[in-house]
Amino acid sequence: MCGILALISGNIECNDAAVDLHEALYALQHRGQDGCGIATSHKSGRIYSCKGKGLASKVFRDGELVPELPGFMGLGHLRYPTAGTSSNAESQPFYVSSPYGLLFSHNGNLLDTEKLKEYLDFEAHRHINTDSDSEIMLQVFASQLLQTDKRRVDEDDIFTGLENMYKMTVSGFAFCGMVAGFAIFGARDPNGIRPLVIGSRLNPDGKGLDYMLASDSPNSIIDGISVYESRQNMGLKLANTILKTLGQDVVDDIDIANRLIAVVAIPDSGIVPALSVAEALKRPYRHAFSRNRYIFRTFIMPNQESVVRAYNRNSILCGVCNMAREAGAKKVYFASSSPPVTHPHIYGIDLATSTELVAYNRDRKSIAASINADELIFLPLEGLEAACAELSPRSKQSFEIGVFCGRYVTPVSQGYLEKLEKTQGKPKAIDGSHNGMFVTVGDSVTTRPMVSERSDVSLHNLAEDH
């Protein structure tokens, strides 16, 4: 669930692309808190980089380092690790010098890393220096672009390289790339599983258009579908499901201390569906739960195994219901604008193993009892699909729904799922658990030495000067 960004100015003489990229990092901070980075390119092709572990405010010293990143184009990244470790070396954007000075900001997971590592080792002869899927994808693309055997590439070469890379990978991903001094580009997996949006504006100097690529936001339009309007639709369809499940008489009787409060939203992403539910049921909407907006999102904090597992054991949901009762609620009906999640996410969200999911092998009644709710209502899967598909400009619209039913749009081997069961939800920090990992050196096999921290060996990193 990383955040990715790319920006190119319509004015090649511009040297402040990093200013907008830095500001955009804060808008996408919710997508990753483990690390972040910006890499820019001057018109000469010189690349400048600053990246590290922590929030954007920490890595960039509250903006102090931004002037040290000149250039008219650049990439940004916010890291939420699902593969690899939490090392500084795995903060992005990633860089390889050959060919042409390539950089990647990547979001997603590869499902065939072992096959790709063999290709890079035995055929492409390219070195992998981290445990990150993102570096593997960058190296695969670089190997394809190298086949042009040209001094300089053009846009056709980039698209040909991307096409060849697509043929080799099985994944759900989105990424932004940059060729130093030449271009930025963006791409999504063939099934469009991971989000990426593009926008433009008039250049402030009046020299053409500026373009930006970014991960989604609540006001994004993705594949012609408004995120905001789809959430409204989810709420309307959830209201119908509530009526069918509870009946109109029960809905009319919902009250807290004789004050009619039909709908309360939690978390923030539930506000828009909740407003639609309130409108459809003709009940008032009330703001009852507040969260601290000035601390980390604990769910995506690195190395918080206990927090992740607590979430999956439904203690947070139970806590919400208990808080409502302590505030005087006579009845607590918990309604979700999502179907129950019963299978692991394999494309870049480190949720849990199947057995740790609240809804795994449990019916609605037992889940409701476990969270201390009087009733639990889920939006059916067909309702969720319809809420989005009805807004699509395409006559036939399908979605990736594997977490709800186990039917993934990409081929998934049983071996990969078994590996996922063993690793998801586990901390990714550099610790003693890495003692048993092996790497190939020539024709020999050796263990990796233990180090407390390490940095990227490619570019000078401004963050390490301060």
150 and 51 within one domain: yes
- Indicate if 182 and 315 belong to the same structural domain: no
Domains held by the chain: number: 2
- As a whole number, mean pLDDT of residues 37-60 equals 94
Task: Specify the range with the lowest mean pLDDT, choosing from 334-343, 407-416, 417-426, 434-443.
Answer: 434-443
Residue 178 falls inside a structural domain: yes
Instruction: Say if CB 254 and CB 329 are below 8 A apart.
Output: no
Is 50 an annotated catalytic residue?
A: no
- Strand, helix or coil for residue 298: helix
Candidates 2, 36, 50, 176; catalytic one? 2
In a domain, 431, yes or no: no
447 vs 14 pLDDT, higher one = 14
Per-residue confidence band for 306, with pLDDT thresholds at 50, 70 and 90: very low
Q: Is the pLDDT of residue 252 over 90?
A: no
Contact (CB, 8 A) for 177 and 188: no
Enclosing H/E stretch for 442: none
pLDDT at 248: 85
The least confident of 169-173, 313-317, 454-458 is: 454-458
> In the beta sheet, which residues pair with residue 174?
107, 188
Residue 450 lies in a domain: no
Could you tell me the CATH number of the domain that includes residue 294? 3.40.50.2020
440: in domain: no
Specify whether 207 is located in the same domain as 231: no
The CATH number assigned to the domain holding 11 equals: 3.60.20.10
pLDDT (average), residues 312-319: 70
**Is the Cβ–Cβ distance between 280 and 236 less than 8 Å?**
yes
- Residue 137 pLDDT level (bands cut at 50, 70, 90): very high
Q: What tens digit of pLDDT does each residue of 154-205 get?
A: 999 999 999 999 999 888 899 999 999 999 999 999 888 889 999 999 999 8
Range(s) of the domain holding residue 268: 225-423
Residue 438 in domain: no
In a domain, 446, yes or no: no
- Inter-residue contact 271 to 231 (CB < 8 Å): no
Within this chain, do residues 275 and 344 fall inside the same structural domain, yes or no?
A: yes
Which position has the token pair 């206990």? 306
Q: Quick one: what percent of the chain has pLDDT higher than 90?
A: 51
Nearest residue to 38 (alpha-carbon basis) of 360, 435, 466, 462: 462
What local confidence, expressed as pLDDT, does residue 94 receive?
Answer: 95
Q: Does the residue 253 lie in any domain? A: yes
Which residue bears the tokens 């060919």?
99
pLDDT, residue 311, reads 42
Find, among 88, 10, 98, 9, the residue nearest to 49 by Cα.
88
The verdict on 235 and 182 lying in the same domain is no
Q: How many other C-beta atoms can be found within 10 angstroms of the C-beta atom of residue 339?
A: 19
Q: Answer yes or no: is pLDDT of 261 > 80.
A: no
Average pLDDT, the chain: 84
Within this chain, do residues 114 and 263 fall inside the same structural domain, yes or no?
no
295 and 178 within one domain: no
Give the confidence band of 374 by pLDDT, cuts at 50, 70, 90.
very high
